Amino acid sequence: MGKEYLTIALGKGRLAKESMNLFEKIGIPCEEMRDKSTRKLIFVNEEKKVRFFLAKAPDVPTYVEYGAADMGIVGEDTILEEARNIYEVLDLGFGACRMCVCGPESARELLDSGSLIRVASKYPRIAKDYFYNKKHQSVEIIKLNGSIELAPIVGLSEVIVDIVETGSTLRENGLSVLEEVIPLSARVVVNQVSMKMNNDRIMELIRQLNSVL
Ligand code: PRP
């Protein structure tokens, strides 16, 4: 019987390029996937019996939980927010950034005042966990889908919980980091059944990835 394909889901966007570089380094190139003009969704490396696909980052943990992908590469922010039943096995180090509470300096005093403030975020679960379980502060969480920095500027919320990488989006909009929630980076995640059934192959792949970090 021929070796079965190992299926790997990569999050589209900021982490995709570095993820591909990493697989190239361990001898599993996915050249076709770099072609921005292609509408193809799945890429096969016949020699290594590996299939890759690019998915929206928040969907990567879903594909991996259901076993439609054996493994995936996705940011820790997405892993925490999606809270799927998957194994997180390796910190790849790249895509390093921080989840922070941000806002205008004037909002700083509101954070410890116990007043019911509004918090806008693309990550309502992470925001809720931070304010409720860590700070024990009741807040109203407002879910947004992007350009979160707008919220305190136009008066939708007092603060935001969002990713800060270089800090330039904050700077250019007159906002600051007020508190740090958690450091983030790209992680390898694995389906729980694949980890048992395909342990040798997956562990070898993790070992190889780890050796080129
Ligand atoms: C992310 C994040 C911040 C920005 C941080 O947004 O939500 O807005 O990057 O990066 P910086 O600290 O280097 O400026 P992204 O560009 O992914 O798009 P979004 O606003 O649509 O979420």
Which residue minimizes the CA distance to atom 14 of ligand 1? 169
Query: Residue type at 150?
Result: L
| Model pLDDT for residues 101-159, shown as the tens digit of each residue | 999 999 999 998 888 999 999 999 999 999 999 999 999 999 999 999 999 999 999 99
| Model pLDDT for residues 168-202, shown as the tens digit of each residue | 999 999 999 999 999 999 999 999 999 999 999 99
Q: What share of the chain is helix, strand, coil (3-state, %, to 5)?
A: 35, 30, 35
Taking the CA of residue 97 as reference, the ligand 1 atom at the shortest distance is 12
| Model pLDDT for residues 49-74, shown as the tens digit of each residue | 999 999 999 999 999 999 999 999 99
Which mutation among 162, 166, 168, 170 tests ligand 1's pocket best, with the greatest number of atoms within 8 A of CB? 162
Taking the CA of residue 162 as reference, the ligand 1 atom at the shortest distance is 7
The two three-digit tokens of residue 164, written as one number: 């800060």
| Sheet containing 42-45, strands listed edge to edge, beginning at the edge strand earlier in sequence | 42-45, 50-55, 6-11, 71-75, 186-190, 87-91
Which residue minimizes the CA distance to atom 10 of ligand 1? 165
Q: Give distance in angstroms: CA of 12 to centre of ligand 1.
A: 14
Per-residue pLDDT, 3: 65
Per-residue pLDDT, 39: 87
Taking the CA of residue 147 as reference, the ligand 1 atom at the shortest distance is 20
Cβ within 8 Å of residue 161, ≥6 positions away: 99, 100, 101, 102, 119, 120, 121, 123, 126, 127, 130, 181
Per-residue pLDDT, 24: 95
Per-residue pLDDT, 1: 46
Taking the CA of residue 164 as reference, the ligand 1 atom at the shortest distance is 12
**Contact by Cβ (8 Å): 79, 90:** no
Model confidence at 32, pLDDT cuts 50, 70, 90, reads confident
